[in-house]
Structure 1
Amino acid sequence: MGFPSPALDFTEQCISLDQKLISEPSATYVLRSTDSHWKAGIMCGAYLVVDSSKTPCDGSIVVGTVHAEFRVLRYRKFPTPHLEEIDEPERKFNLLDDFEDDGVFGVVTWILNDARAGEFDDVPVM
């Protein structure tokens, strides 16, 4: 019979994406982006982890509804609470006029992009 290995004290636990990415399981959704939003770091096909229990703060990326269609937008508080297009901030949507209910479905908490695409690569290799 031998001695136990001292390395056994340093074993790593498995990483659980559920524990890392989801704080409120009953209010969390995973959506897939159909467009790229360069300024927010979202590539076409990225998975967006959306938490509908969180309250957005100024500058948050949110999923909102415009004319009953889900869209990825940026939440702004000033001068009045409104949502704006990420890539065209001059296009604003007033929360009271343009939205059904309150307009914000949930806050995007994580963005999971496929790194193989190289869409954000500044110096592509030929």
Structure 2
Amino acid sequence: MFLKRDPVGWPSPADDYSEDFISLNQHLIKNPAATYLMRIDSNSMIGIGINIKSILIVDRSLKPKNNNIVIALVDGSYVCRQLKLFPKLELISRGVVNKPITIDKEEELEIIGVVIAAINQY
């Protein structure tokens, strides 16, 4: 993939060169051994641009922080949600229907990884 900077409008036909090579791996993946791709199959995060069939880039090596988007294991199911650490531990949906998942005990929640990017196809 190549990076080409164009102003809005029609590009010049004489401008037939590329500036830089873009490596998505180099820009998005900092720890390849701990990073994986996951396709989302729900609309629970559609409000922040994670759509059905988005491909998520998930890093297992990152420590989850407040407001991070995470992949979590809750009651045997994987979910993609926004992590809230205070005032109470919750997984927040950014969809239209889902209610927050309140975690009463930390043992009930396993954070699988932190979402570092979402790729959407149109």
TMscore range, shorter length: 0.7 to 0.9
Residue 95 of structure 1 contacts residue 103 of structure 1 at CA under 8 Å; is this kept in 2? no
Return the offset for 1:60.
1.1
Matching of residue 61 in structure 1 with residue 74 in structure 2 = no
* SS of the residue 2:47 aligns to: helix
Q: Which amino acid aligns with 1:106?
A: G
Shift of 1:57: 1.8
Give the secondary structure class of the aligned counterpart of 1:58.
coil
Corresponding residue number in structure 2 for 1:92: 101
Indicate yes or no: 2:41 matched with 1:29: no
SS at match of 1:39: helix
Residue 51 (str. 1) matches residue 59 (str. 2): yes
Quote how far apart the aligned CAs of 1:82 are: 2.8
Which residue identity does 2:105 align to in structure 1? L
Once the two structures are TM-superposed, the CA of residue 90 in structure 1 deviates from its matched residue by 4.2
Task: Find the residue that maps to 1:74 and give its secondary structure.
Answer: strand
Structure 1 residue 17 corresponds to structure 2 residue 29: no
As a proportion of its length, which structure holds more strand? Answer: 2
- SS of residue matched to 1:103: strand
Match of 2:13 in 1: none
1:52 alignment partner AA: R
What's 1:6 paired with?
A: none
Q: Percent identity?
A: 28
| Range with bigger deviation, 79-88 or 61-70 | 79-88
Quick check: 1:83–1:95 contact (8 Å CA) kept in 2?
no
Moved more, 20-29 or 32-41: 32-41
What count of residue pairs does the alignment treat as equivalent? 104
Q: Once superposed, what is the RMSD of the aligned Cα atoms? A: 2.3
- Aligned to 1:34, the other structure's residue is in SS state coil
Is contact 2:47–2:94 with CA below 8 Å preserved after alignment? yes
Unaligned runs of 5+ in 2: 1-16
Give the counterpart letter for 1:18 in structure 2.
N
Larger Rg: 1
